[in-house]
Structure formats: C-alpha cells, structure tokens
C-alpha cells in the first residue's frame, strides 16, 4: 500500500517518455519529468526511498534504450541521493532555494544524458540541456506554488 504512489510516478514517467514527450516540447525544449519527480521525492522522503526510486525511474526512463539503461539508472539514483543530502544541509523553507535545487539537479541530469547519448555535445548543451532545465523548473515552480498554498482553487475562482 505504501508503494502505490511510487508505482504511479513510474507509470507517469513511462507514459511521458512514450506518449506525451513530443506533445509537451516547446521548440526542442522538453520536460525532464523523470528528474523532476526524482528530485521531488528526494525533497519529501527518506534517503533510501530517494535512491531506490531514482534507480527505478532511470530504468523506466531508459527502457527504450537498453544500451544505456544502467547509466540512466545510475544517474537518477545518484541525483536523488545527492538531492537528499543537499536538502539536509540547506534551509528549504524558501521557494527560491527549492527552485534552485531543482534547476541545478535537472541541468546536471540533462548534461549527463547528453554525455551518455550524443556526440554533438556543445551544440546540444545550449539547445536541450539549458532550455529543458528552465522549462522543467517553471513547471516545478507551478507545482510548489500549489503545494505551498500560494495558488489555490479559491484564489483562481476569485480572479474570474
């Protein structure tokens, strides 16, 4: 019963990778949903959960690329573990520090994916890694605004 949300997160990562990835991209900038969810889990859960979930998310993310499956699993497990330890040493009461942690983590994961999968590294660095990290951080900001109660359904209804 405790693992059902994690399986749903993994299902969401798999469905995004297969079905929604092209629909959510804007001029080549894509959402790195796997890194976003792994970082979110590492912000709110324990060290063990952050590391095993990162490993499982890496396996789901790279299921279509069996030659780099282990590298993706290792990269996301390390990202989740590193984010957990950074969280322990930072004051994450501020929205800006959470967003900075998300941006740096997603940018590092995007750079690692580029190193693993492509040959034209410096061209792709600007086009995919940085723009994708900014795009995903904006989505993380919207999530945190809802989670912290800054944006609520009542406030949205009052606007209209």
> pLDDT grade, residue 151 (50/70/90)?
confident
**What is the model's pTM?**
0.89
Q: 105-133: per-residue pLDDT in tens? A: 999 999 888 887 776 677 777 778 888 99
Task: Kindly give, in sequence order, each residue whose CB lies less than 8 Å from that of residue 64, ignoring residues fewer than 6 positions away.
Answer: 17, 18
| Range(s) of the domain holding residue 17 | 4-159
Report whether pLDDT(39) > 90: yes
Q: Which residue has the higher pLDDT, 66 or 50?
A: 50
Report whether pLDDT(56) > 90: yes
Q: How many domains is the chain partitioned into structurally?
A: 1
* CA atoms of 41 and 22, how far apart (whole Å): 25
């Amino acid at each position: 019963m405790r693992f059902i949300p994690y399986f749903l997160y993994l299902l969401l990562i798999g469905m995004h990778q297969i079905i929604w990835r092209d629909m959510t991209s804007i001029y080549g900038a894509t959402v790195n949903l796997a890194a976003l969810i792994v970082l979110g889990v590492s912000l709110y859960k324990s060290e063990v959960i952050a590391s095993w979930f990162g490993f499982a998310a890496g396996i789901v993310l790279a299921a279509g690329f069996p030659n780099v499956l282990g590298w993706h699993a290792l990269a996301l497990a390390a990202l989740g573990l590193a984010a957990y330890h950074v969280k322990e040493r930072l004051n994450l009461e501020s929205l800006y520090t959470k967003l900075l942690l998300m941006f740096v983590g997603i940018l590092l994961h995007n750079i690692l994916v580029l190193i693993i999968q492509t040959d034209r590294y410096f061209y792709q660095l600007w086009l995919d890694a940085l723009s994708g990290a900014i795009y995903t951080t904006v989505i993380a900001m919207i999530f945190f605004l809802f989670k912290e109660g800054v944006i609520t359904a009542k406030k949205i209804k009052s606007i209209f």
